[in-house]
Structure 1
Amino acid sequence: MRKKHLALILSLPLSTLSFMQIVSAAPMPMQKEERGKWLAGEYHVHTYQSDDAQYSLTNVMDLGFNKYGLDWMATSDHLRMEKRDDEGKEIPGGPIPLSKGMADYGIPKINALQDAGKYPGKIMFTSFEWDIPTYEHAGVGLMTDKPNSPELLKAVSEFEYLFTNREAKYFDPADITKWEAKNSRAFTTPADARKAFKWLEANMRNNSFLIFNHPSRKTVYTITDFRDFNNIAPNVAFGFEGMVGNQMEPDRGGLNLETPQNRTYGGSDYMLAKLGGAWDALLGEGRHFWNFSNSDAHFYISDNRLYSSGYAPGQYSKNYTYVKGNDMQDVMEGMRSGKSFSVFGDLINELDFKAGKGGQRAEMGETLKAKRGDIITLKIRFKSPKLNNNGDPVKVDHIDLISGVVKGKAQPGTDVYNNETNGSTKVLKRFTSKDWRATKDGYYEMSYPVKVTEKDMYFRLRGTNLGVNVEGETLNGEPLVDVKSSTEDNEARFKEINERNYNDLWFYSNPIFVDAKSRQDEKGHGRN
């Protein structure tokens, strides 16, 4: 078996000796069994090692694993200078780079807790959140078979040196000489950001991921950027935080600009929530670019009871990922596969979404090959818990089956490359309790036939506890912009925000693609 993993979800770590030396020295992974399991997880959690957070590392693990039922989790402290250790104590001698903080505090603490058997069967790894030059934040993961090795910690240092403005005095001069022999520092311009993506894709394409956090919180990301990033690093930059964290902020998710594109809708980023918007535009190119949720946990209510920020890990948002294996590398591969769905408020806790024809089938993140004129069947099974973490009964009002045409990747320099909409996207079918049937094992299920046309397609799901037209919440089934809580009394405001969030629940699945071929295609005469 592999060693227990401690993932370095850092924003693009390489190795120190040279990443390629580590890769060549690492043992080849064992063949995994095909059968997997659904695991609930969270990749974006902060501890005291982030200056704006009020959770200890132990507190985060107790909450996420023991109280709210997560199976895997990653801390994601800021890739900045650290003033405090994982328990909130001032670091002797003053601030240190995050890479040293991970080496001295985070990684040893996680290893010690896991070695003591405190969280049996749980997958825990460290991470950090990178300030992408001129852009926003991203969480990036590095997987390794050597969880607390000198090589791994050197890798963190190398990345921090190359892709942040950290002063050289914090690093070993001999290491700097090795690093600069291969790469120059890059931490200022959009081109520097792209250089980091290229570096990661070239060296760690199978062992890392980069997920863009709260993409519309500021006016820095465009659809063109996401196309560039995904083109540069398709195996690494494969997703975004469409269901944003910090849900306890007065401006839901902390997206507090006045422009409609920089707000949340049903708690989700506009790029996700807008039907036919940015996410649909990317899916309409056939891109494997997935949606994720997270807590972005800093604190629930501040120690001084003046502010609120985000829920604890697993308390309000969860990612459900199909994982083949038992370590963090397996989790990462599950995330990359797209076989996952994300949910607020435990609206659902199980989802089976398949497209099939005869003996063929495809699931979330996969592609079903079919001939034009074929009838394929989309099957949906879901389950909800009796109560969520707020103590409320849970009931899905309706589920939307959303479809769009896939036209292939847009080419840089064309008008289409800057287009942030997909005009073909539509709600193909809206399922309600009249359409699904209850099974003896507690599921609800339904199916829907679709005739394959000359167009390649994708299908995705969106569900909610709300009706189609709820004043202030939905209009014709589409989520409306979230209203800021302006209540002055702190305790009343906290209660109001929590009620707002739990009254407005959603889930989103990742898509299934359908590759439509004609009979002529099958005979090798080309596509029509």
Structure 2
Amino acid sequence: MRSSRRRFFILGAAVAGTSLAAAPPVSADITSELGRLLGRTRYRWLVGDHHTHTQYSYDAMYTVDNVVSGARLHGADWLVITDHGYPAHEKSSVEPTNVDVRAARRKHRDVLLWQGIEWNVPGAEHATVFFAPGADEATLLRTFERTYDSRLTDSGSGSAENEAKAIAAVRWLRQNTRDPIVVVNHPSRNGRVAPHELRALRDTGLAIGMEGAPGAQADGFPKPDGNGGARGGYVNNPGTDSWPGYPAEAYRTYGGFDWMTAKLGGIWDSLLAEGKGFWITSNSDSHYNRGDVLARPAVPGDYYDKTGKYPDPVDSGVPHLLAPYADFYPGEFSRTYAGATARTHSAVASALRAGRIWVTHGGLVDNLEVAVHGDGQSATYGDRIRVRRGSSVTVVIAARMACRPNGSGSIPQLRRLDLIQGLITGTASPDAVSAPATRVAQSFQPRWWPGHTVLFQHTFRDVRAPFYARVRGTDGNRHAPGGIEPAPDVIGDSDPFQDLWCYTNPVFVDVW
């Protein structure tokens, strides 16, 4: 297929010295469809976080109210509490957490709140699990944890038997809960989630995707004591349970994003090249938030094992700068935007399941939306259109520039957007790790006016084969040598605010 030259527009401003009227026109049908797709009457782009921890996790400290209040302060609309599966948690924590969650729902009515769990996946590592709130949510959650969490069932090691237990667990969720969602967490951190496990979970229809970027982004800051952390805690090397096909670079982040996401034509693209949805998210993984003065009181070493809960944190007067796996509050640095039709639990769950999701770090952009148009059809993230062979397909990207300072005190600047095209080649081998036909179809360099919306258009002409399109953006601060790909984060010296990226989920184009 042939691609058009780029077209660049700014709504309400001049473009690189050329007036809007003098710029190549966007056809009326594209403009109309873009307005319909991106109009607020269709989708509400709600900010959320599906991976957070409280005092009911063996390695965290915040009360449920602390986490929800912090999320609300930083503009989150929805939130999932996901304390770790653990023997003491199953024994003592699920019901008390539920009491606190219900209290937080009453107090913070503008935040859609779920009680979930960070599931220790049999044969793998971690995943977020949550389902529709209800009178029996705690009972169902506790039953799931007791029956299927690998810490409680001694099923963590990689084996065909344990991988089958993971699939059985997801099927149990389908049969016993409403609106269940599973998201694979930090997929490359320890290399324990093999490509065939991702595909098997995806094919259940409940595992909607994976964390495109892990939480714990503040762990990359240089630490005063000289001990080096890394964004997401990605400081590992292959272990005995790691899948042997992963290269050394898989155990690092790239601009804060997991290698599976960041590598062009890598594992994420190999999954999308099958023509099936597998979406990315982002999150805080909040445990100990950088700069916070709250601290966990000193307790005996076996305190949590006996109680399933730590005491409420107290004001220490000293900001956290040395905490391991340092995080941010939900919405403070990492944001997952879900395109919901209403402000309800079910509408957000439907948006996540459909892949109407884009993610950003450090407030790089205030909004990022995409419309794909062809043969009278239009689609946005997670959707698909079907066009005749030889048709033209136009992608329109709308990005609203950041206009507020982020946590670093500066207003981030989006310096480049990449439109990425991947060919749909059909079912791949279970452990496929690459999609070599993936390419950057066009890069766009926005002129930065805070608060303005920039609009780009790219047309794929004479389309002969099915493909998908996705978008990523960057502040342009760091790239791999000699190119535009993200660079690996430096262990012990990776200020997350100095290397910001955003990513969208794909739109699929089928050809007949």
TM more than 0.5: yes
Aligned position for 1:73? 79
Does the 8 A contact of 2:288 with 2:323 survive in 1?
A: no
Structure 1 alignment gaps of length 5 or more: 1-32, 83-95, 168-184, 411-415, 486-495, 518-528
1:252 aligns with 2:241: no
SS in 2 for 1:418: coil
Decide which of 30, 38, 50 is 1:43's aligned counterpart.
50
Pairs within 5 Å for 1:358-373: 359-373=376-390
Letter in 2 for 1:512: V
* Structure 1 pair 285–432 and aligned structure 2 pair: CA distance change class (3 A): same
Does the 8 A contact of 1:287 with 1:409 survive in 2?
A: no
Decide which of 103, 111, 120 is 2:109's aligned counterpart.
120
- How far apart in 1 are the matches of 2:101 and 2:192? 35
* Cα-to-partner distance string for 1:138-195 (whole Å, 9 max, x where unaligned): 0011114x2xx2x33321232122113688xxxxxxxxxxxxxxxxx79452222222
CA RMSD, Structure 1 to Structure 2 (Å): 2.4
TM-score (norm. length: structure 2): 0.77
Aligned position for 2:271? 282
Deviation at 1:381, TM superposition (A): 0.5
Does the 8 A contact of 2:394 with 2:459 survive in 1?
A: yes
Aligned position for 2:446? 433
* Structure 1 pair 58–349 and aligned structure 2 pair: CA distance change class (3 A): same
Deviation at 1:288, TM superposition (A): 0.8
Deviation at 1:45, TM superposition (A): 0.6
Does the 8 A contact of 2:51 with 2:81 survive in 1?
A: yes
Aligned position for 1:311? 328
- How far apart in 2 are the matches of 1:245 and 1:474? 26
Aligned position for 1:97? 90
Aligned position for 1:399? 417
Aligned position for 1:210? 182
TM-score (norm. length: structure 1): 0.75
Deviation at 1:305, TM superposition (A): 5.0
SS in 2 for 1:156: helix
**Runs of 4+ that moved beyond 3 A:** 33-36, 164-167, 185-188, 201-204, 301-306, 472-475
- How far apart in 1 are the matches of 2:480 and 2:497? 12
Aligned position for 1:54? 61
Aligned position for 2:222? none
Structure 2 alignment gaps of length 5 or more: 1-39, 157-161, 220-228, 238-247, 296-319
* Cα-to-partner distance string for 1:473-507 (whole Å, 9 max, x where unaligned): 6641101111111xxxxxxxxxx65xx21010000
- How far apart in 2 are the matches of 1:71 and 1:475? 40
Does the 8 A contact of 2:70 with 2:329 survive in 1?
A: yes
Pairs within 5 Å for 1:121-520: 121-144=110-133, 146=134, 149=135, 151-164=136-149, 187=155, 189-204=162-177, 207-231=179-203, 233-234=204-205, 236-249=206-219, 250-258=229-237, 259-301=248-290, 303=295, 306-308=322-324, 309-357=326-374, 359-386=376-403, 387-410=405-428, 416-433=429-446, 442-466=452-476, 470=478, 475-485=482-492, 497=494, 500-517=495-512
- How far apart in 1 are the matches of 2:425 and 2:505? 18
- How far apart in 2 are the matches of 1:156 and 1:284? 34
- How far apart in 2 are the matches of 1:203 and 1:341? 30
* Cα-to-partner distance string for 1:205-234 (whole Å, 9 max, x where unaligned): x61111000001112112121112212x12
Aligned residues: 420
* Structure 1 pair 298–430 and aligned structure 2 pair: CA distance change class (3 A): same
Does the 8 A contact of 2:401 with 2:449 survive in 1?
A: no
Letter in 2 for 1:60: V
SS in 2 for 1:396: coil
